[in-house]
């Protein structure tokens, strides 16, 4: 008997020792966990009063960006409510102006981010550029917040569109000046840079209060295609009126308190949910500790959401955790129906452990009707702890061709170009960068086909990145201060049709391949007003006696050309004088010919009421027009106030009726109707004399001189 007591006492001591050891190990592990999390802070310790385990910080998940839009440049602060660090938006955008909301909307309870806004009175599209360290092909939650607060003292609520990248995110509308609008989207980044753009739709100036980005590590919230725009995120059965976000939520999701549905009762627990292992969705324990159930154990839990738009598609995420310790044969199992169709056959919540049931296919309907019904095996009614509903939005539009993006960004940086060049270069279609035209082919990546940088103050050499714009058809770099030689690669752009380098400080020789393309008509080349530019290599020769003959020959040829021009002008004037019909009166003369005669009303129709002016002269104005068959014409109307006009007018008319040549604009017809006199010419659509004198003509003249000297 004594040996049994001793043995029992020894066993008891051993069990106590094991228990105390295990307890000490648990306490040690808990303290180490708290310290590890605490070490990630900025050198300041935190107190974890009343918590059984450490809560991770936002920077543990990486990729977080928190921007308070409208605060002064360089300003940073720690938000007292969320303990999140916010910074100014100076490094994320180059446009817009900072504004404070009206003092009448300021209050002690107002969140800091709503006290200021960044407004965008200029430009149709203004974009924030976010570059999270995780880069592309990752899942992000992006949140944009807005409160008007009569910041512009106009008391007029604006409306505008919000884009994520090149795809529409949502429209921003307000009920009143203090209405806070928050838009969230969960999306996969296609590029390393995420662009959030505000588009002016003509209904008021866009603005923004705050912009936040959070990174998801795992594959939650994934869809087959598209992105998820938040419709509802509810903390069901909440016993408070407080929203829940970080630090309770690892990903800083915002959970709105929702006490329950008609015919339901709230239940809760004081225990921590998912205390041992985080669930896949990392749901906050504060949300999962409350739930609702039907008041009657045999009733179903029914609720619905009025959507209104039957074309919208939705993804639903329901979150469950058993909060009641079941006794004996108690069992909870239920099914879920959505719009009368079985959505989930069997849900059995686990005690103090989160479980999520989500859509595999999007739901559709003007109303979402949910019904949670207990199964025949269940003794307990259904429960619901939390629910998230997202609208599926298409992200079918591809961004601009990546090679084009890389090239145009290099050009932007090398020339320090404009504040208006933000976001994607080509998309959305009607909001492309200033000076760019793009080609669009359905949802395929757009390509840059035209680049107009005239009079932009460009300096330095012609950027080699232009060679990567393979679809470029029109390039205008005129009226800048570009230096250096014309690069050979410009001739290798396969689709280039127009190249304007006029009015720069280029030097050296024009590549022979460009000259050749200009001569064969495949390229309209303008290279005038570049004093140091010569038309072929070599520009200078070392032997002095080899230069003088070329100059002398060139001068001689120019003298001959000028003499011919003077002679031809004299002959033309003489012929005109001989052929003018002097039988007409001072007020009116005859213009009868085989050409078509037009009435004045027909002239008005042809010119669209004289809408487009092509030029002006001593005798009147020249207008552009279209004949009934679609042919373009130029119409020269005689001015009633011109003293020399009638004589010159009739001289020109008589001459054109007799002289015909393929290089002269032909006379189509005339108008002589009640004092309204005009001539209808063939329209010359391929540039004016100035372009040819300073561009192509000089190229061809030099080639002519060169061949003559040979």
Condensed to tens digits (0 to 9), the pLDDT of residues 201-250 reads: 999 999 999 999 999 876 788 888 899 999 999 999 999 999 999 989 99
Mean pLDDT across 10-28: 44
Mean pLDDT across 7-36: 40
Measure the CA dihedral 106/110/116/119, to 10°. Answer: -100
pLDDT at residue 292 is higher than 60: yes
Would you say 344 and 255 are in contact if contact means Cβ atoms under 8 Å apart? Answer: no
Inter-CA distances, 351 with 59, 323, 332, 386, Å? 30, 6, 11, 16
Find out if CATH 1.10.1760 is the number for domain 230-393: no
Mean pLDDT across 529-548: 64
Q: What confidence score (pLDDT) does residue 578 get?
A: 42
pLDDT at residue 441 is higher than 70: yes
Which residues are within 8 A (CB) of 259 and not within 5 positions of it... i.e. 6 or more apart?
Answer: 237, 238, 239, 266
Q: What confidence score (pLDDT) does residue 277 get?
A: 86
pLDDT at residue 297 is higher than 50: yes
Q: Hey, what are 589's tokens?
A: 């003369």
**Binding site per annotation, positions:** 636
Report the distance separating Cα 659 and Cα 665, nearest Å: 10
Burial class (CB in 10 A: 0-12, 13-18, 19+), 38: middle
Report the distance separating Cα 616 and Cα 118, nearest Å: 48
Q: What confidence score (pLDDT) does residue 700 get?
A: 53
Candidates 338, 320, 296, 307; CA nearest to 236 is 320
Would you say 251 and 61 are in contact if contact means Cβ atoms under 8 Å apart? Answer: yes
pLDDT at residue 39 is higher than 90: no
* Its pTM surpasses 0.85: no
Domain map (residue ranges) of the chain = 65-217, 230-393, 402-534, 596-695
Residue predicted with more confidence, 50 or 352:
352
pLDDT in tens, 41-84: 333 333 222 333 334 444 444 568 999 999 999 999 999 888 89
Would you say 126 and 206 are in contact if contact means Cβ atoms under 8 Å apart? Answer: yes
For residue 428, cis peptide bond before it (omega within 30 degrees of 0): yes
Q: What confidence score (pLDDT) does residue 22 get?
A: 41
Report the distance separating Cα 563 and Cα 558, nearest Å: 9
Q: What confidence score (pLDDT) does residue 676 get?
A: 85
Mean pLDDT across 454-465: 95
Mean pLDDT across 407-432: 90
Report the distance separating Cα 559 and Cα 551, nearest Å: 12
Q: What is the mean pLDDT of the chain?
A: 82
Write the class of the CATH domain 596-695. alpha beta
Q: What confidence score (pLDDT) does residue 585 get?
A: 38
Q: Hey, what are 128's tokens?
A: 């924030």
DSSP code at position 531? T
Q: What confidence score (pLDDT) does residue 26 get?
A: 39
Residue predicted with more confidence, 47 or 474:
474
Q: What confidence score (pLDDT) does residue 677 get?
A: 86
Would you say 199 and 431 are in contact if contact means Cβ atoms under 8 Å apart? Answer: yes
Q: What confidence score (pLDDT) does residue 675 get?
A: 75
Would you say 264 and 301 are in contact if contact means Cβ atoms under 8 Å apart? Answer: yes
Handedness of CA 322, 323, 326, 331 (dihedral sign): negative
pLDDT at residue 516 is higher than 60: yes
Number of residues assigned to the chain = 710
Mean pLDDT across 684-691: 56
pLDDT in tens, 585-641: 333 444 445 578 889 888 888 988 887 777 776 667 888 888 888 788 889 888 766
Report the distance separating Cα 615 and Cα 627, nearest Å: 19
> Which residues pair with residue 196 across a beta bridge?
128, 164
502 three-class SS = coil
pLDDT over 90 percentage in the chain? 58
Q: What confidence score (pLDDT) does residue 159 get?
A: 98
Q: What confidence score (pLDDT) does residue 409 get?
A: 93
Measure the CA dihedral 475/481/483/485, to 10°. Answer: 30
For residue 538, cis peptide bond before it (omega within 30 degrees of 0): yes
How many Å from the N-terminal Cα to the C-terminal Cα in the chain?
133
Q: What confidence score (pLDDT) does residue 614 get?
A: 77
Would you say 328 and 369 are in contact if contact means Cβ atoms under 8 Å apart? Answer: no
pLDDT at residue 309 is higher than 50: yes
pLDDT in tens, 93-126: 999 999 999 999 999 899 999 999 999 999 999 9
Domains 65-217 and 230-393 share a fold: yes
CATH number of 65-217: 2.60.120.260
Cα 110–Cα 66–Cα 176 angle in degrees, nearest 5? 35
Instruction: Indicate the helix (H) or strand (E) that contains 703.
Output: helix 696-709
pLDDT in tens, 154-213: 999 999 999 999 999 999 999 999 999 999 999 998 888 999 999 999 999 999 999 999
Inter-CA distances, 504 with 69, 229, 481, Å? 41, 50, 5
Write the class of the CATH domain 402-534. alpha beta
**Binding site per annotation, positions for ATP:** 636
pLDDT at residue 571 is higher than 70: no
Q: What confidence score (pLDDT) does residue 41 get?
A: 31
Burial pattern 422-433, b for ≥16 Cβ within 10 A else e, equals bbbbbbbeebbb
Would you say 370 and 382 are in contact if contact means Cβ atoms under 8 Å apart? Answer: no
pLDDT at residue 90 is higher than 50: yes
Most confident stretch, 33-42, 372-381, 414-423 = 372-381
Q: What confidence score (pLDDT) does residue 184 get?
A: 98
């Amino acid at each position: 008997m004594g040996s049994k007591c001793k043995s029992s006492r020894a066993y008891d001591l051993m069990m106590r020792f094991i228990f105390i050891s295990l307890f000490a190990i648990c306490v040690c592990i808990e303290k180490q966990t708290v310290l590890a999390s605490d070490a990630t802070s900025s050198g300041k310790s935190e107190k974890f009063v009343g918590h059984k385990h450490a809560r991770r910080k936002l920077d543990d998940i990486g990729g977080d960006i928190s921007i308070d839009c409208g605060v002064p440049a360089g300003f940073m602060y720690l938000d007292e409510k969320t303990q999140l660090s916010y910074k100014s938006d100076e490094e994320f955008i180059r446009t817009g102006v900072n504004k404070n909301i009206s003092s009448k909307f300021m209050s002690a309870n107002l969140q800091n981010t709503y006290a200021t806004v960044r407004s965008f009175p200029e430009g149709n599209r203004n974009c924030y550029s976010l570059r999270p360290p995780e880069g592309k092909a990752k899942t992000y939650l992006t949140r944009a917040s807005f409160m008007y607060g009569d910041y512009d003292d106009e008391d007029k609520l604006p409306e505008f569109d919000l884009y994520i990248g090149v795809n529409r995110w949502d429209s921003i509308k307000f009920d009143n000046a203090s209405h806070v609008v928050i838009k969230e989207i969960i999306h996969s980044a296609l590029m390393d840079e995420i662009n959030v753009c505000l588009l002016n739709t003509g209904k008021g100036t866009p603005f923004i209060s705050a912009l936040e980005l959070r990174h998801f590590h795992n594959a939650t919230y994934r869809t087959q295609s598209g992105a998820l725009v938040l419709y509802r995120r509810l903390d069901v059965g909440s016993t408070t009126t407080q929203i829940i976000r970080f630090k309770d939520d690892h990903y800083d999701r915002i959970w709105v308190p929702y006490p329950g549905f008609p015919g339901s009762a709230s239940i809760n627990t004081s225990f921590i949910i998912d205390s041992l292992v985080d669930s896949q969705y990392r749901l906050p324990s504060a949300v999962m500790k409350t739930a609702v159930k039907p008041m009657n154990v045999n009733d179903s839990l029914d609720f619905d959401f009025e959507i209104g738009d039957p074309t919208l598609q939705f993804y639903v995420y329901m979150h469950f955790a058993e909060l009641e310790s079941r006794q004996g044969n108690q069992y909870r199992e239920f099914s879920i129906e959505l719009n009368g169709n079985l959505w989930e056959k069997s849900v059995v919540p686990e005690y103090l452990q989160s479980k999520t049931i989500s859509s595999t296919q999007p739901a559709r309907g003007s109303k979402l009707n949910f019904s949670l019904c207990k199964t025949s095996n269940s003794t307990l009614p259904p429960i619901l702890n939390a629910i998230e509903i997202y609208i599926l939005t298409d992200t079918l539009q591809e961004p601009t061709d990546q090679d084009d993006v890389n090239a145009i960004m290099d050009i932007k940086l090398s020339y320090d170009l404009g504040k208006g060049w933000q976001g994607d270069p080509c998309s959305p279609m009607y909001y492309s960068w200033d000076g760019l035209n793009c080609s669009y082919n359905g949802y395929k990546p757009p390509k840059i086909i035209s680049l107009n940088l005239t009079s932009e103050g460009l300096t330095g050499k012609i950027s080699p990145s232009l060679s990567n714009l393979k679809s470029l058809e029109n390039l205008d770099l005129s009226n800048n201060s570009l230096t250096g030689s014309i690069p050979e690669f410009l001739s290798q752009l396969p689709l280039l049709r127009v190249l304007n380098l006029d009015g720069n400080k280029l030097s050296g020789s024009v590549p022979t391949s460009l000259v050749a393309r200009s001569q064969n008509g495949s390229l309209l080349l303008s290279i005038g007003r570049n004093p140091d530019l010569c038309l072929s290599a070599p520009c200078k020769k070392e032997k002095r006696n080899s230069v003088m003959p070329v100059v002398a020959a060139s001068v001689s040829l120019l003298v001959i050309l000028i003499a011919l021009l003077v002679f031809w002008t004299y002959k033309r004037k003489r012929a005109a004088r001989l052929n003018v019909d002097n039988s007409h009166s001072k007020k009116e003369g005859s213009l009868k010919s085989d050409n078509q005669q037009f009435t004045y009303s027909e002239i008005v129709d042809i010119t669209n009421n004289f809408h487009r002016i092509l030029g002006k002269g001593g005798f009147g104005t020249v207008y552009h027009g279209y004949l009934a068959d679609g042919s373009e014409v130029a119409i020269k109307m005689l001015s009633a106030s011109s003293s020399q006009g009638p004589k010159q007018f009739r001289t020109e008319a008589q001459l054109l009726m007799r002289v015909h040549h393929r290089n002269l604009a032909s006379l189509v017809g005339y108008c002589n109707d009640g004092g309204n006199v005009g001539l209808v010419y063939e329209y010359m659509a391929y540039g004016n004399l100035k372009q040819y004198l300073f561009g192509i003509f000089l190229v061809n003249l030099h080639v002519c001189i060169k061949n003559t000297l040979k």
